Chains A and B, each alone.
Chain A
Amino acid sequence: MGFRVSAALWRRPWARATILLTPPLAWFVLLYLAALVVLLITAFWQINPFTTNIERVWNLGNFTTIFTSPAYRGVIFRTVGMAAAVTVVDAVVAFPFAYYMARIASSRTRTALFVAILLPLWASYLAKVYSWLLIFTHGGLLDWSLSHLGLSQVHLIYTNWAVFTVFCYIWLPFMIIPVYAALERIPHSQLEASEDLGARAWQTTRLVMIPLALPGIVAGSIFTFSLTLGDYITPLLVGGTSANFMGNIIYTNIGIANNVPFAAAMAMVPIVIMAAYLLGARALGALEAV
């Protein structure tokens, strides 16, 4: 019986595919997409200011508040600016590293470096943020190192610079891996052709490697950009009282203010930004590189 079923399935690849694809697709549509739809609907509701119960009255109030209030607009600009800065710095830090991995390192070194990139991803997010708190804190490792170098102390803790450093640190592996994958795929013959045509190493990098690695860089930027866009824990732990990012607004409106419709409306902002970003990335062919 079991044999007959498997034989029948073997002859009909489409049946096999349907059976295999139904559970993941159902999970994806019924849970993930349905949740996003409910979120979109909730964004047009409001809460009763006295009872804080959700009132299912259609209105644009939440969106009007977000886009007319200078404070919320400031939060959106600060968050997008932070995400863009983190993405650019991570790309600049990652490219030479990935270049070394793909083009210069021996295969053993390459494997070791690959493991070294993956290892920090297995360490707890919170432990890593907390570690930076220990580095930046008054009398921490940074102060100690600077005073031993004879430099004046900088107080980074509870500033946006601390938030920026931690974001760059935590998301860096997400940038290195796709850039490495893109550089690795460039055929050696293309680089040799560039050399034969008289290009210097820098010209080959700028005119051949960076354009060919661009889908990888964009794929990595999807992660660094989006992860920064929604994070609220790093600003809470190492940011100051003014470290208000979109994630923090969403978080406080779910938790403390219990205003889920407003949080849902605020959540639409990163969703729209990421949708536009993904469409742009798709045009560059970066979704294939993820």
Chain B
Amino acid sequence: MESRALRIGLRIWVGLVLAFLFVPIALIVLYAFNRSNIESWPIPSFTLHWFSVAWHDAEVRTAFLLSVRVALVSTLIALLLGSAVAYVVHQFRLFGRQDQQERDALEAEEPELVGYAVHQFRFFGREGISFLLVLPLALPGIITGIALNSLFSFTGI
């Protein structure tokens, strides 16, 4: 068991990390109410003025609606494609998270399932699939951006 000193130390550490995470977010909220447009601390006085400015700005409104539309479409596509992969991975356990014992038990129940999984396993390679799935996460966004840019200009879309 951890000693008392270690527990206290860890608790202080967690508090510091939480402060590190949330002070900037709290700050940006406070600055939204800043009357002055000089970015200094402390904030001299508070106002709701900027909310009214943002609300009546036509450009902000179109940008907001465009963001919502892009967000909805990409969420829908990711939800459909992602759920399909997640379902198959769960059903066939391609990623072999289960141990051998569990696999044997499953084979006794549903040999066809495991047969397919093992076939797939050999075909793609379990690690090959996880490697491919991690690739879009592991490559920086600007690479995906420039790659798609090249693809679209290349194919003339």
Which residue numbers of A lie inside 8 Å of B, CB to CB?
13-14, 16-17, 20-21, 23-24, 27-28, 31-32, 34-36, 38-39, 41-42, 93, 96-97, 99-101, 103-104, 113, 116-117, 119-120, 123, 127-128, 130-135, 137-141, 143-144, 169, 172-173, 195, 201, 222-223, 226-227, 229-232, 247, 250-251, 254, 260, 263-264, 267, 270-271, 274, 277-278, 282, 287-288, 290
In whole angstroms, what is the CA distance A251 to B149 when docked? Answer: 12
Whole-angstrom distance between the Cβ of A194 and the nearest chain B Cβ: 12
Main secondary structure of the interface of B (DSSP, over half): helix
A116 adjacent to B137 (CB under 8 Å) = no
Interface mask (B101-138 → A, CB under 8 Å = 1, otherwise 0): 00000000010110010001000000100111011111
Most B Cβ at <10 Å: residue of A39, A41, A232: A39
B112 adjacent to A13 (CB under 8 Å) = yes
Please pick, from B27, B88, B95, the residue contacting A20 in the complex, using a CB distance under 8 A: B88
Closest A residue to B94 by CB, please name it: A17
B142 adjacent to A222 (CB under 8 Å) = no
Please pick, from A100, A232, A254, A278, the residue contacting B149 in the complex, using a CB distance under 8 A: A254
Q: How large is the interface on B (under 10, 10 to 19, 20 to 34, 35 or more residues)?
A: 35 or more
Across-interface contacts of B143 in A (CB, < 8 A): 39, 230, 250, 267, 270-271
Main secondary structure of the interface of A (DSSP, over half): helix
Across-interface contacts of B82 in A (CB, < 8 A): 24
Please pick, from A20, A42, A103, A141, the residue contacting B84 in the complex, using a CB distance under 8 A: A20
